[in-house]
Amino acid sequence: MGINYTEVTKFIIAGFPGNKKIQILYFIIFLLIYLLTLLGNITLLFTLKAETSLHTPMYFFLSNLAVLEIGYTSVTLPKLLAISIGRARNISLTACLTQSYFFFFLGSTECFFLAVMAYDRYLAICNPLRYPILMCNRMCVFLAIGSWFTGFLNPCPSTILVSRLYFCGNVINHFFCDVPPLLSLSCSNTHISRTIIFISSSVIVLGTFALTMLSYACILATLLRMSSATGRQKAFSTCSAHLTVVSLYYGTVIFMYVNPAAKTSMEMNKVVSFIYSVVTPMLNPIIYSLRNEDVKKALKRMMLKKFCAERQTA
């Protein structure tokens, strides 16, 4: 016997709660975060491109990560800014699925790039003599394209599954079209969808996290065998920024998507999602700039050149 559903094709994104004054405050904070994210990542990109000394595999992958972070925040923040000033809360099912797809596409790609960057550090520290051969230009391009392409394919099953569901509710209690809140609005049987999405998320997140930790375990073992304290410190300094980013990103992502038993409020889920999808992309260029001596020196040189050029034209 068939069941008749009233098909929902438009949703309302709830955003963060608060009165009008709080929403204006949210708007200012979100706008500042977005501008800082764009400025930080674009500056990092220009610095990496301008300085020939930074044209190495590690910084090639970091450039890809900077481009990714710009896209990652641009998927959610412009819509969130509109929501915060009381505009454009509505979103069609097609637009919602598109936003969800690009969010998971870029999130998955970031997982792959973090693992690739850890592998690059492993080769540089544990196999320094063979590093130029193992991490040649062709291998760098292959790993980068592989990360983007695999990330591009990853959200396809979940997007197709969600697109085939019927929805009874239309208020998404989140600040973007995340899959778990969408599934909670469905009046279809979501067991298969939830299982496949959980397995996919677990494989991507835990798999890349395990590879990243394995790389750093090998790096740690190599550092402990080094007799030179200076060499140890220099090798660790190239990894510290990346380790900080990995800790921030994976800690929140695993909390959100790889713990099926987690019974947390939607408001807590919003905060955790906000940290890894908005705050982390803003902090990444700052972390890589402040905790990486090569990038700091390159930034100083670039600023000095700009200052000298302005003095000459004045």
Alpha carbons 54 and 51: distance in angstroms, whole number: 6
Phi, psi dihedral angles at 245 (to 5 degrees): -65, -45
Query: What is the reported pLDDT for 260?
Result: 53
Query: What is the reported pLDDT for 309?
Result: 66
The pLDDT > 70 percentage for the chain reads 88
- 165-212 pLDDT tens trace: 888 888 888 889 988 888 888 888 888 888 888 888 889 988 999 999
Contact 188, 166 (CB under 8 A): yes
Domain topology for 10-313? Rhopdopsin 7-helix transmembrane proteins (1.20.1070)
Length of the chain counted residue by residue: 314
Phi, psi dihedral angles at 280 (to 5 degrees): -60, -45
Token duo for residue 313: 């034209």
Which position has the higher pLDDT, 78 or 265?
78
Domain boundaries, the chain: 10-313
- Going by C-beta distance under 8 Å and a sequence separation of 6 or more, which residues neighbour residue 14? 89, 171, 172, 173, 174, 175
Which position has the higher pLDDT, 26 or 295?
26
- Mean pLDDT, residues 151-177: 89
C-alpha distances (whole Å) from 167 to each of 96, 250, 257, 310 are 13, 31, 22, 59
Alpha carbons 146 and 138: distance in angstroms, whole number: 12
**For residue 117, pLDDT beyond 60:** yes
**Which of 5-19, 42-56, 221-235, 246-260 is the most confident on average?**
42-56
Q: Binning pLDDT at 50, 70 and 90, where does residue 1 land?
A: very low
